[in-house]
Amino acid sequence: MLISCGKQDNVVFLNYETGVEEYEFSSEEVLILPNVSKDNFVFIGWTGGENYYAGLTEVDVSGLTLTPDFVAIEEAFTSVYIKNNGVYLGNYIGDSTIVGIPYYWNDYLIVNADSFRNRTDIEKIF
């Protein structure tokens, strides 16, 4: 998605598993990057190498190719367990301040991810 007005002089490429999408925008515009979900993995943002981007984003490099980055759920939480046919996640121990939790882990619905209470550094959870 893009907030657009004026001359289009910058471009960003979003590299999905299914292909690449091109977004043209002017230097005065702000890009709104989509959230990405992948079963069994936590989405930690779009990256072009060192930097991570998510949501409402100012991109100051034209021609940047961004790829969604993920980490396995087992690496991001202290525990992952199934109870009453639902998945419960322990405390979040990941480094990313962007946390996109999928709907499913090993074909079980994730029903509880209430493990961020002591994390004041998290910017975005979805």
Confidence category of residue 60, pLDDT binned at 50, 70, 90: low
Average pLDDT of span 32-39:
89
On whether the CB atoms of residues 96 and 117 are closer than 8 A, the answer is no
Residue 6, pLDDT score: 45
Report the predicted TM-score, pTM, of the whole model to 2 decimal places: 0.81
CB-CB neighbours of 15 under 10 Å: 14
Residue that wins the pLDDT comparison between 115 and 101: 101
Residue 8, pLDDT score: 56
On whether the CB atoms of residues 66 and 51 are closer than 8 A, the answer is no
Residue that wins the pLDDT comparison between 94 and 114: 94
Evaluate if residue 42 carries a pLDDT over 80. Answer: yes
Evaluate if residue 2 carries a pLDDT over 60. Answer: no
Q: What is the mean pLDDT of the chain?
A: 84
Domain positions in the chain are 10-125
Q: Which amino acid is at 86?
A: G
**Residue located via tokens 């471009």:** 11
Evaluate if residue 79 carries a pLDDT over 70. Answer: yes
Average pLDDT of span 69-91:
94
Distance CA 104, CA 120 (A): 25
